[in-house]
Homo-oligomer: A and B are copies of this chain.
């Protein structure tokens, strides 16, 4: 006699053919938070989905592709709404919030930083170009805006990575948000200095004394 068709796993039973990449990625992220990156095996994930591990290879080329998709999902979650307001728009605070969101998202899940440190699949230009535009409202050039976002992303991931590493052995100086804010604000100060210098030059060109 055959036993009942599973569905005993984690409560969420599906009918066949319902399984798609998004569901797998979502489940993988939940499992990651439970067991950590070393515990996240294809067999364990398959069990969580009530399938066999071989089935995962119909949906994903290999485990790397799955992990990269997880990275993409975390970034999407971190960078939700550009949320640009009216004339009181504070570009520095907007950039800071973006960097904080990346770090916060990475820290919100066990080993999340290690996942976000991976390459993510080319999101279809969705919000990235919009964000560049928004960053340019500060007066930065297109290239500077991109470099700024790249720098903040690298710093946020680097910070989360160190903060999430086994706390005993790391040479952490100031734990938590304060250590992060120092680097963040100092970098933004550098941007402000650059923009102020640029405005000064522009003014002197507009009404030359000579």
Contact = CB atoms under 8 A, between A and B. Distances in A.
A11 B136 CA distance: 58
B171 A68 contact: no
Interface string A42-69: 0000000000000000000000000010
A101 B188 CA distance: 24
Interface stretch (A12-20, A28-36, A80-88, A151-159): A151-159
A155 B123 CA distance: 24
A187 B187 CA distance: 4
A186 interface: yes
Contact of A158 (B120, B121, B154): B154
A189 interface: yes
A159 to B, nearest CB: 5
A186 B190 contact: yes
A185 B156 CA distance: 17
B169 A120 contact: yes
Nearest to A186: B190
A183 B144 CA distance: 10
24 contacts: A68-B169, A117-B117, A117-B162, A118-B165, A119-B169, A144-B182, A147-B174, A147-B179, A147-B183, A150-B172, A150-B173, A151-B155, A151-B182, A153-B162, A154-B155, A154-B162, A155-B183, A158-B161, A183-B187, A186-B191, A187-B187, A189-B194, A190-B193, A192-B193
